[in-house]
Amino acid sequence: MLRELIDKFYLDRQKDKEQAHFYITDAGRCGRAVFFKFKNAPRREIEPNVLRLFDHGDYIHQLIMKPLLSIREIHVVASEIKIPPQELVSGRADAIISDGKDLYVLDIKSMNSMIFRNLTEAKEENINQVQLYLHYFKIPRGILLYVNKDNQELKEFVVNYDKKRVLLLLDGLSKLKNKIEKNIIPDRLADYPDNWQCQYCQFKAICALANGGKLKWEDFKKKTESQPR
């Protein structure tokens, strides 16, 4: 009884999640998948246990913040802080910290042992996210702190502000915004279906249905109506 009710709680939370603006995590991601999110296209449901794992990530953040709030060498300037409001994108950094000399944007990521073990550098998609935080907070340096969910081991990587990368990311989002407004479905990723994003993509089925190349959403939408929601 409880299992079904708890699963339903999580499944209901992800229903009809039409997106109306970009999140920082969309920067550098597959434009087609982001487009489909905006259009609330039919998607594969995420299993309740995976949704619970997302919630578990929040507890890991609290676990990391606890010592940071007590350590004398570190001052937590702000936590769960939203980027300044602007038209394009919204996002919330885990924290801004200071070592008494410099400010850093802190972003905490958790992962399983297998991924953690092989992590020798910060992940590209996480660097993209931190770069935008650095840009909007006007802070030159950030820290990506990775937590192994299975044994609580830590790895950290410093990220320096890279203006060129930020401008590319913002340009990508502006172009994608234009396609969303004009109802033009973006092309697939160049390395579809081998890209890691395709592996986890909730829109894999309709992406296959759409084939490669750009196409009009209105024409394609009718085809998707026969797909399970």
Binding site for ligand SF4 (CB under 6 A): 30, 32-33, 188-189, 192, 195, 197-198, 201, 203-204, 207
Shortest Å, Cβ 199 to ligand SF4? 8
- In the complex with ligand SF4, the residue whose CB is nearer, 40 or 113, is 40
Q: What DSSP line would sit under 143-186, residue for residue?
A: EEEEEETTT--EEEEEEE--HHHHHHHHHHHHHHHHHHHHTEEP
Alpha helices in the chain (DSSP H): 2-13, 31-38, 48-70, 113-117, 124-137, 163-182, 196-200, 204-210, 217-224
Report yes or no: 184 and 210 within 8 Å, Cβ to Cβ: no
Query: Using an 8 Å Cβ cutoff, are 137 and 98 in contact?
Result: no
Let me know the angle formed at the C-alpha of 61 by 134 and 28, rounded to the nearest 5 degrees.
40
C-alpha R_g of the chain: 19
Given its phi and psi angles, is residue 197 left (phi above 0), alpha (psi -120 to 50 degrees) or beta? Answer: alpha
**Cα 45 versus chain centre, distance:** 17
Q: Which is nearer to ligand SF4, 64 or 189 (CB)?
A: 189
Q: How far is the CB of 118 from ligand SF4 (least distance, A)?
A: 22
Work out how close the CB of 179 gets to ligand SF4 at its nearest, in angstroms, rounded to a whole number: 13
Minimum CB separation from ligand SF4 for residue 49, in Å? 22
Token digits of residue 81: 């802080």
Retrieve residue 90's tokens.
Answer: 């919204």
Q: Which is nearer to ligand SF4, 106 or 201 (CB)?
A: 201
CB of 91 to ligand SF4, least distance (A): 20
Beta carbon of residue 207, minimum distance to ligand SF4 (angstroms, whole number)? 3
In the bound complex, what is the minimum distance in angstroms from residue 192's beta carbon to ligand SF4? 4
Based on CB atoms, which residue is closest to ligand SF4, 41 or 95? 41
Q: Name which of 7 and 187 has its Cβ closer to ligand SF4.
A: 187
As a whole number of Å, the end-to-end CA separation of the chain is 25
Q: Which is nearer to ligand SF4, 79 or 183 (CB)?
A: 183
The residue among 148 and 224 lying less far from ligand SF4, judged by its C-beta, is 224
